[in-house]
Chain A
């Protein structure tokens, strides 16, 4: 079955430190890939997306992600975390070629300590 795995349920980093959130998917072809962020009590905001082309994609708020086909991964990174980045992050995968059949990972909750 197609699946999306975010192995880290909770991550704590110090403000100013670098961040990497992991996402792996199980699917035969290259899916459409997304990262969303959800602040407490809020809806979801798209950080970045990958469909094809350059495997390193830039998003909003200084985030980037790299698609690695050989590892079926799409990890999210940020070089220097700010306290306002504390939120829950979701990786999502559209394995239907854009026909809206989307699977989300279970999320990674990020805590930022001063």
Chain B
């Protein structure tokens, strides 16, 4: 089954404790993205990647890091989380073929206290 998986689905952590949210896709897609969703703000793109070792900032990259060492994986790293990073995070992927449709993961709800 074609899918984007994220782990963990739920995470409660404390300020300053480094964490990683993993994202993996099994569709051999070139493009991957991370979004955060906050009430009243919709989804905002954090980082995106066009292929292995190629990443670029989205609209809200501050406080986040990403890496793309393998095509299927695109982890999101919070080196020193802060309460304003409490949010719902979505990973998405899409291939070069087709017309831009993104496939979204189920989301990770992060709470930073």
B-binding residues in A (CB < 8 A):
6, 9, 32, 34, 43-44, 46, 49, 51, 90, 92, 94, 98-107
Contacts and interface: CB of A to CB of B under 8 A. Distances in A.
A51 B102 CA distance: 14
A104 B90 CA distance: 13
B12 interface: no
Interface of B: 31, 33, 35, 40-45, 48-50, 56, 58-59, 90, 94, 99-102, 104-107
Given A100-B31, A101-B48, A32 B42 contact: no
A52 B45 CA distance: 24
Given A51-B99, A100-B50, A102-B45, A43 B106 contact: yes
B100 to A, nearest CB: 5
